[in-house]
Structure 1
Amino acid sequence: MRGARLPDDCAAYRRLGPFTTATLPPGLLRAHALKPGCCGLATIAAGHIGIVWEDAPDRSIRLGAGDNIVIAPERRHHIAVDGEFTLEIGLNRQSESAVVESAAAKA
């Protein structure tokens, strides 16, 4: 998934990592989700990982060096590890209007 793009209304606010097999926080291996209004951009610098969507566990995505993936707000997922890797995660806030629209669509 090279070149995945964040929505235009996102602004970076935090960077996590780089993480390796030895430094990956255990919570990323368990089901979790980003908070409302927060999009993630996971970038694989080396090796491979899997992203498993909890709402579609049979459709995991394997990512390799140079790949990235956008993690949508509130979508439960976890990372699957099958070897050495280097991973960085950028956290991005959506505009207030996008968050309000998303909440209204769910109501």
Structure 2
Amino acid sequence: MTVAPIAERGPPLPSGARAYRRIGPFGADTIPAGLLRRHDLKPGAWGLLSVTAGSIHFHWDDEAGGGRLLKTGDTMLIPPGVPHHLERQGSVTIEIAFCAP
């Protein structure tokens, strides 16, 4: 059974979208610095951030703001153009798939 990703911002992942690039796994000490500061995805690209061990805090840096503690087994859907960043919470392993229609 596949668990749907956490989706807090739109637009949703288009039907038929496929991963075109994957990065990671990254541990707490190897997460690229760019992921720890405000950034966004290019138009037409969605991200699927998967936590394979531990936990990490995901922050939305848009007008609505907010955040969520992601734990082992969670996957966050990140739509294009929505600024965000990660904050380490201790031991963690993450992977990111970049998807497009």
Answer whether TM exceeds 0.5 for this pair.
Answer: yes
Percent sequence identity over aligned pairs:
42
Q: Secondary structure at the match of 1:46?
A: strand
- Determine the C-alpha separation between the residues in 2 that align with 1:48 and 1:62: 7
More helix by share: 1
TM-score by length of 2: 0.84
- Determine the C-alpha separation between the residues in 2 that align with 1:62 and 1:3: 17
Instruction: Name the Cα RMSD after superposition.
Output: 1.4
Amino acid corresponding to residue 32 of structure 2 in structure 1: P
1:49 aligns with 2:50: no
Structure 2 match to 1:24: 31
Is contact 1:12–1:92 with CA below 8 Å preserved after alignment? yes
Q: CA deviation at 1:80?
A: 1.0
Is contact 1:49–1:79 with CA below 8 Å preserved after alignment? yes
Structure 1 residue runs of 4+, over 4 Å off?
none
- Determine the C-alpha separation between the residues in 1 that align with 2:77 and 2:14: 9
- Determine the C-alpha separation between the residues in 2 that align with 1:74 and 1:92: 14
Pick from 31, 35, 56 the counterpart of residue 42 of structure 2.
35
Q: CA deviation at 1:12?
A: 1.0
- Determine the C-alpha separation between the residues in 1 that align with 2:41 and 2:99: 10
The structure whose Rg is larger is 1
